[in-house]
Amino acid sequence: MKVRVAVVGGGLGGLLTASELQAAGVDDVVVLDRDDLPGGVARTVARDGYQLEPAAGALLLPKPELSPVLANLGAEVVPAVDAALRYVYARGRLNVLGPSPKVVLSPVVTWPAKFRALAEPFIRTRAASSDESVDAFFRRRFGKGMGGTLAWLAASGVFAGDPARLSARSAFPVFSALEDEAGSLVRGGIRRARRRERGTPRAKSHVPVGGFSALAERAARRLGDRYRPGVTIESVRRSDRGWDVKGSERPSIVPCPPRPSSSASVRNRTASRCRPDSGHSPDRMPARSRSASSSSHRTRLIGRRPGTPWPR
């Protein structure tokens, strides 16, 4: 199979990228994912009237980069005040942290730690290495108590990761940029707020209607059979004609009637007929794979060369 653009991974990143390409007129695109459900780590769990988001829980909107992407997709998002709250168990009690400036009074950290954090605008020390960890970055800026807590909140809330092992510059480029611009996160934040045009609404927490799974399913549905679940990519290699993307495709997990041929081409056609197609809806989405037999056919895809514009 030859395509202009192959997106490996049908998480929110891959699906929204493909959706943007489609909106830009690049129709020759496929999204390949080894899973059977779209959305990657963003997978809404609905239980007992509650909606749990194990990964992305809210989007700060409006945002110049993201708002048009969601609009192109026709995604429905609604403000969600509760999604902005953080529940933090610290110092023997459960603390509720809201987006208001009053959060500084919360007992999550001690008063000495708070006073040290107030000195952030005057801290001149620079990173010991160009790839400082999130933990080291926040501790250097806000002190051990507040910085360690902020690093842990940021890393676990956004990546479920270890702040000592995440790169600050990669994980939170916006904070590094504030320090680069103004020598301080607080001063940089104030400068940016002043630069914000009058009348520009402040970004607030929003959630997709139906959760992040619904958002992913909407994007997958829009892609139709260009979204291809059950394909594990084994290698991506540059070739003289573009890129070779090789992977193996699992037969569909949707029960199919037995077919009287074993030839690869017929097997593949069968798989694509039985795979969930363009009509993804939560109740039509299959449960996780039960079928393990893997086919061995190769997929050849041609992608964009680095540095060249997206083909139209």
Cβ-based nearer residue to ligand FAD, 159 or 243:
159
Look up tokens 């301080």; give the residue. Answer: 184
Is residue 59 close enough to count as binding ligand FAD by CB under 6 A?
yes
Is residue 20 close enough to count as binding ligand FAD by CB under 6 A?
no
Cβ proximity of 90 and 96 under 8 Å: no
- Walk across the sheet containing 29-33 and list its strands: 5-8, 29-33, 227-229
In whole angstroms, give the CA distance from residue 79 to residue 157: 19
Is residue 154 close enough to count as binding ligand FAD by CB under 6 A?
no
Closest residue by Cα to residue 60 from 255, 261, 207, 264: 207
Binding mask 234-273 for ligand FAD (x = CB under 6 A): ----------------------------------------
The count of residues in the chain is: 312
Strand partners, 33: 229
Cβ-based nearer residue to ligand FAD, 145 or 276:
276
Is residue 147 close enough to count as binding ligand FAD by CB under 6 A?
no
Is residue 159 close enough to count as binding ligand FAD by CB under 6 A?
yes
Strand partners, 11: 39
Cβ-based nearer residue to ligand FAD, 117 or 245:
245
Alpha-carbon distance values, 104 to 28, 85, 97, 118 (Å): 50, 14, 9, 10
Pick from 18, 29, 32, 186: which binds ligand FAD (CB under 6 A)? 32
Q: Which stretch binds ligand FAD (CB under 6 A): 3-11, 146-154, 185-193, 250-258?
A: 3-11
Is residue 232 close enough to count as binding ligand FAD by CB under 6 A?
yes
Cβ-based nearer residue to ligand FAD, 56 or 214:
56
Cβ proximity of 133 and 167 under 8 Å: yes
Is residue 10 close enough to count as binding ligand FAD by CB under 6 A?
yes
In whole angstroms, give the CA distance from residue 268 to residue 298: 11
Report phi then psi at 276, rounded to 5. Answer: -55, 125
In whole angstroms, give the CA distance from residue 65 to residue 282: 28
Q: How far is the CB of 290 from ligand FAD (least distance, A)?
A: 17
Q: What is the DSSP string of 73-100?
A: HT--EEE-GGGG-EEEEETTEEEEE-SS
Q: How far is the CB of 259 from ligand FAD (least distance, A)?
A: 26
Q: How far is the CB of 232 from ligand FAD (least distance, A)?
A: 5
Q: Which amino acid is at 122?
A: F
Is residue 13 close enough to count as binding ligand FAD by CB under 6 A?
yes
Cβ-based nearer residue to ligand FAD, 86 or 187:
86
Number of residues that bind ligand FAD (CB under 6 A): 25
Interface ranges with ligand FAD (CB under 6 A):
8-14, 32-35, 40-42, 55-59, 157-160, 232-233
